């Protein structure tokens, strides 16, 4: 018992260490130690380095976003410029703005926000949007309560098949081994460089694709052609433009 | 030298003339388009799209026109089989996608809409399009977006369309395919009925018939090992109560497609011969065909006249797909019998080959006269299960589930339970004609099964006990008594 208690303390201490390095707000963020990973789309190198960074544990909620809009009226539903956010911007909010008695639940992830809006939100928080490699690096982590590739795959395929039952609130699907919630199963998420890899439809035009990182010619350039969930994410990002606002697309910030 | 050299020269024009004379017999008059001088477009029409098995009426305008097509992509949970649901990705809210009909030379203005509540990006590749990706590159759209592009329908034929967004196989496996017909400007020859039937397969986490909302299984798709092979998007979608209906003497044209994603279809109509098959949906036809091959991502047009009443079963003659995975559609032909064409069963007699060591006349015991000692419930169940697999499973399916509208279920069957003879009469005499089982009507033929009393007792014990019909041990003596009474 004593030994177990000691180790528990040690682990908690180690987990707290990174927190001590920065300011108090980091309790909402997880420290990602970084490393290298094999990206889905082959670049010049097999392995891509990912430097240490902080990632929001949960996606940004409607309540979070309302505070941002109040502080930044240029991003209100009626003021936002169409070139930065098309006419679906905050589609699910009442025109008067989010109030306590109408609209989506406070703890639900904010959706119908454009890349420009998400970027502005993160900057307002002194953060930034995660980079694609950072996001994918964290998204590979297995669920904390069942550390296996199978359990991660199950969450993804249940999500895609509309079998996932949860109450559509942040922190309701699963927490991964970094302590980060809902990387799959809740909403798609913006990344800073979402359009750096172009999945040209089905990627049949390999010879026409530019080289290197920009070469996303689906099956020919994929590291694992059976990883259909990754195909889906990259195809999804390819279909986006910076001013798009989608009902199933939200975001979280990094630092 | 000279004469030999000249001979082929003389022969060539002759050969060409013969070919030209023969060609119209097996090929539709085909207009060749000069793309520098395309026919003028006059006016515009909104395309009427239909849900399988319906086919839209042909566009009546005398000259080529602009045809405006609106197709909406919807992701939604729908029925795959009884008690089985699947999150389908659809063109128009249905699988297969809605049927599009235009004429050669028409200008098609295509609008693709990705419903805002969808989760995935999509696009469309129409095989009828001459141009990059068949429109795929012009139409990749996120949920909540629409894309528009236009194309000239240069080649006539029946073409598949499908989603071509990565991962392509998954989009097709989830239901994203349909047919577009490019017919000659003057139309095809008139027939009484036109129908739309498209085969495809589904790869589910659960095995065939496993209840609940099923998810897509990538490994089974890679292995090309589907649990469901279906006509028109679901088991029984165009069978039983949903069967296509025609009258005796009417002509039928089927627009057939195969969405795949993997399997090639050996398309066959049980009880009919195709008078004409437009091979692979193109311009050339062949005649008097029993089974025609439809490639994945390909099509065929078949025509036939229904001469006698009955039910035609449209199947993939890779036959386990039909009877065990769902690949059956039906056409009910209603009308008067024509015994000059088909007599029905005229008589059935015992066949006793001569010179057989086993079955010499006089030695062969009547099945009913065997004397056997009775068996225990356990013995009957064990024997009954194996007899069920040998004799019943192919039609009545695993666990007696049946095929809705085609083969009646034996599992918890109100029809069986209501019979006084415990079903003995069906096994001994066979059964044909319309019956209603658990609320669904069936009109099919079960042949008489030549089984001993002992075997009938075992298989019926199995069916009553294991297939939820109230249970109970049935003895060979029960069967014998029934035979005595019904001699």
The pLDDT of residue A192 is 95
The pLDDT of residue B372 is 59
Q: From the CB of residue B45, how many other CB atoms can be counted at a distance below 10 Å?
A: 14
A79 CB-side CA count, 13 A: 10
Q: Where are the domains of chain A?
A: 2-59+126-250
Mark yes or no for CB contact A218/B218 under 8 Å.
no
Q: How far is A154 from chain B (nearest CA, A)?
A: 10
The DSSP element (H or E) to which A20 belongs, if any, is helix A2-21
First vs last Cα of chain B: how many Å apart?
88
Mark yes or no for CB contact A201/B165 under 8 Å.
yes
Which residues does residue A53 pair with via DSSP β-bridges, in sequence order? A32
The pLDDT of residue A199 is 58
Q: Which of B62, B146, B154 is nearest to B110 (CA)?
A: B146
Give the number of beta-carbon pairs within 8 Å between A and B.
94
Contacts of B74 in chain A (CB under 8 A): none
* B244-247 and B107-114 beta bridge pairing: unpaired
Exposure string of B426-449, with b = 16+ CB inside 10 Å and e = fewer, is bbbeebeeeeebeebebbbebeeb
Q: What is the mean pLDDT of each run of 10 residues along chain B (487 residues)?
A: 48 54 48 80 96 96 96 96 94 98 97 96 96 89 95 96 93 97 95 98 93 91 95 95 95 98 97 97 96 98 96 96 94 91 78 49 43 82 87 86 88 93 89 90 82 90 93 90 86
User: Rounded distance, CA A37 to CA A42, Å?
Assistant: 11
Selected for mutation to probe chain B from A111, A162, A205 (highest B CB count within 10 Å) is: A162
Q: Looking at the partner chain, which of A158, A228, A248 has a beta carbon nearest the beta carbon of B170? A: A228
Mark yes or no for CB contact B215/A161 under 8 Å.
yes
Selected for mutation to probe chain B from A202, A216, A237, A246 (highest B CB count within 10 Å) is: A202
The pLDDT of residue A165 is 80
Q: Which residue of A has its CA nearest to B147?
A: A239
The pLDDT of residue A208 is 39
Contact residues, B window 95-154, toward A, CB-based 8 Å cutoff: 116-121, 123, 133, 136-137, 140-145
Q: Reply yes or no on whether the pLDDT at A218 is more than 50.
A: no
- Contact of B324 with chain A, judged by CB distance below 8 Å, is answered with no
Q: How far is A195 from chain B (nearest CA, A)?
A: 13
Q: Reply yes or no on whether the pLDDT at A131 is more than 50.
A: yes
- Contact of B170 with chain A, judged by CB distance below 8 Å, is answered with yes
Contacts of B141 in chain A (CB under 8 A): 239
What own/partner pairs with CB < 8 Å and gap ≥ 24 does B426-433 have? B427/B451, B427/B456, B427/B459, B427/B460, B428/B456, B428/B483
Contacts of A163 in chain B (CB under 8 A): 87, 213, 215
Mark yes or no for CB contact B77/A248 under 8 Å.
no
Whether residue B309 has a cis bond before it, omega within 30° of 0: no
User: Rounded distance, CA B205 to CA B215, Å?
Assistant: 5
Mean pLDDT score of chain A: 80
Contacts of B168 in chain A (CB under 8 A): 202
CA-based R_g, chain A, Å: 19
Q: What is the 3-state secondary structure (H, E, C) of B246-258?
A: EECCCEEEEEEEE
DSSP letters of B380-421?
Answer: HHHHHHHHHHHHTHHHH-GGG--BTTTB---TT-HHHHT-TT
The pLDDT of residue B335 is 93
Residue A102: pLDDT band (50, 70, 90) is low
Contacts of B169 in chain A (CB under 8 A): 228
Model ipTM value: 0.77
The pLDDT of residue A9 is 46
Mark yes or no for CB contact B143/A238 under 8 Å.
no
Q: Which residue of B has its CA nearest to A217?
A: B166
Phi, psi for residue A208 in degrees, rounded to 5: -90, -5
Identify the structural domains of chain B with CATH numbers, from first to last: 44-334 (2.60.40.420), 375-485 (1.10.760.10)
* The CA-based dihedral angle spanning residues A47, A51, A52, A57, taken in that order and rounded to the nearest 10 degrees: -70
Phi, psi for residue B413 in degrees, rounded to 5: -90, 115
Residue A243: pLDDT band (50, 70, 90) is very high
Chain position carrying tokens 């991964």: A176
Mark yes or no for CB contact A236/B213 under 8 Å.
no
Selected for mutation to probe chain A from B133, B142, B210, B213 (highest A CB count within 10 Å) is: B142
Q: Which residue of B has its CA nearest to A240?
A: B142
Q: Reply yes or no on whether the pLDDT at A214 is more than 50.
A: no
- Contact of A236 with chain B, judged by CB distance below 8 Å, is answered with yes
The SS3 call for residue B138 is: helix
Contact residues, A window 22-81, toward B, CB-based 8 Å cutoff: none
First vs last Cα of chain A: how many Å apart?
38
Q: Reply yes or no on whether the pLDDT at A197 is more than 80.
A: no
Residue A2: pLDDT band (50, 70, 90) is very low
User: Rounded distance, CA B137 to CA B141, Å?
Assistant: 10
pTM for the model stands at: 0.73
């Amino acid at each position: 018992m004593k030994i177990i208690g000691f180790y528990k303390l040690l682990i908690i201490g180690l987990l707290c260490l990174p927190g001590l390095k920065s300011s108090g707000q980091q309790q909402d963020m997880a420290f990602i130690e970084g490393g290298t990973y094999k990206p889905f789309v082959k670049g010049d190198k097999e392995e891509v380095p990912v430097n240490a960074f902080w990632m929001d544990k949960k996606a940004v909620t409607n309540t979070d976003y309302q505070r941002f809009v109040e502080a930044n009226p240029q991003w209100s539903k009626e003021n936002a410029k169409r070139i930065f956010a098309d006419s679906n911007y905050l589609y699910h909010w009442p025109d008067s703005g989010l109030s306590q008695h109408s609209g989506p639940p406070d703890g639900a992830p904010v959706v119908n926000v454009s890349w420009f809006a998400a970027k502005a939100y993160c900057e307002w928080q002194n953060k930034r949007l995660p980079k694609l490699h950072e996001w994918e690096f964290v998204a590979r982590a297995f669920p904390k309560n069942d550390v296996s590739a199978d359990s991660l795959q199950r969450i993804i395929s249940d999500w895609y098949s509309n079998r996932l039952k949860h109450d559509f609130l942040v922190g309701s699907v699963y927490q991964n081994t970094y302590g980060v919630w809902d990387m799959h199963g809740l909403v798609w998420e913006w990344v800073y460089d979402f359009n750096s890899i172009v999945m040209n439809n089905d990627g049949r035009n390999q010879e026409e694709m530019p080289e290197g990182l920009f070469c996303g010619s689906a099956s020919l350039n994929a590291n694992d052609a059976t990883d259909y969930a990754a195909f889906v994410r990259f195809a999804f990002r390819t279909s986006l433009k910076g001013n798009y606002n989608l009902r199933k697309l939200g975001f979280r910030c990094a630092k | 030298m000279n004469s030999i050299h000249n001979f082929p020269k003389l022969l060539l024009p002759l050969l060409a003339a013969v070919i030209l004379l023969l060609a119209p017999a097996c090929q539709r008059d085909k207009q060749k388009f000069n793309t520098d001088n395309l026919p003028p477009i006059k006016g515009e029409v909104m395309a009427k799209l239909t849900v399988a098995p319906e086919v839209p009426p042909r566009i009546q305008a005398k000259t080529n026109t602009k045809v405006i097509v609106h197709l909406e992509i919807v992701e939604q949970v729908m029925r795959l089989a009884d008690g089985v649901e699947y999150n389908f990705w659809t063109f128009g809210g249905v699988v297969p996608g809605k049927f599009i009909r235009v004429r050669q030379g028409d200008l098609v203005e295509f609008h693709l809409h990705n419903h805002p509540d969808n989760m995935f990006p999509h696009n469309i590749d129409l095989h009828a399009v001459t141009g990059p990706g068949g429109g795929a590159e012009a139409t990749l759209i996120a949920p909540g977006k629409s894309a528009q592009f236009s194309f000239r329908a240069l080649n006539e034929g029946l073409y598949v369309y499908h989603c071509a967004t990565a991962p392509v196989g998954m989009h097709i496996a989830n239901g994203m395919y349909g047919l577009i017909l490019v017919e000659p400007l003057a139309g095809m020859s008139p027939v009484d009925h036109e129908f739309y039937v498209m085969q495809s397969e589904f790869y589910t986490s659960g095995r065939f018939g496993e209840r609940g909302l099923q998810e897509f299984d990538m490994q089974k798709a890679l292995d090309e090992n589907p649990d469901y092979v279906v006509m028109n998007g679901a088991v029984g979608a165009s069978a039983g109560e949903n069967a296509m209906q025609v009258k005796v003497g009417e002509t039928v044209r089927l627009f057939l497609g195969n969405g795949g994603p993997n399997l090639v279809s050996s398309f066959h109509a049980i009880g009919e011969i195709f008078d004409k098959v437009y091979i692979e949906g193109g311009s050339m036809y062949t005649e008097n065909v029993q089974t025609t091959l439809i490639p994945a991502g390909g099509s065929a047009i078949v025509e036939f006249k229904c001469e006698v009443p009955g039910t035609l079963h449209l199947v993939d003659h890779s036959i386990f797909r039909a009877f065990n995975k769902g690949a059956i559609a039906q056409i009910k032909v209603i009308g008067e019998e024509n015994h000059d064409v088909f007599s029905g069963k005229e008589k059935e007699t015992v066949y006793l080959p001569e010179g057989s060591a086993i079955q010499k006349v006089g030695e062969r015991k009547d099945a009913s006269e065997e004397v056997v000692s009775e068996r225990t419930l356990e013995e009957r169940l064990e024997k009954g299960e194996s007899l069920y697999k040998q004799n019943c499973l192919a039609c009545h399916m695993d666990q007696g589930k049946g095929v809705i509208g085609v083969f009646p279920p034996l599992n918890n069957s109100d029809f069986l339970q209501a019979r006084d003879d415990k079903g003995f009469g069906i096994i001994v005499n066979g059964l044909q004609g319309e019956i209603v089982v658990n609320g669904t009507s069936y009109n099919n033929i079960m042949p008489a099964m030549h089984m001993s009393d002992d075997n009938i007792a075992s298989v019926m014990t199995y069916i009553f006990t294991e297939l939820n019909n109230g249970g109970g041990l049935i003895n060979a003596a029960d069967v014998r008594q029934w035979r005595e009474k019904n001699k």
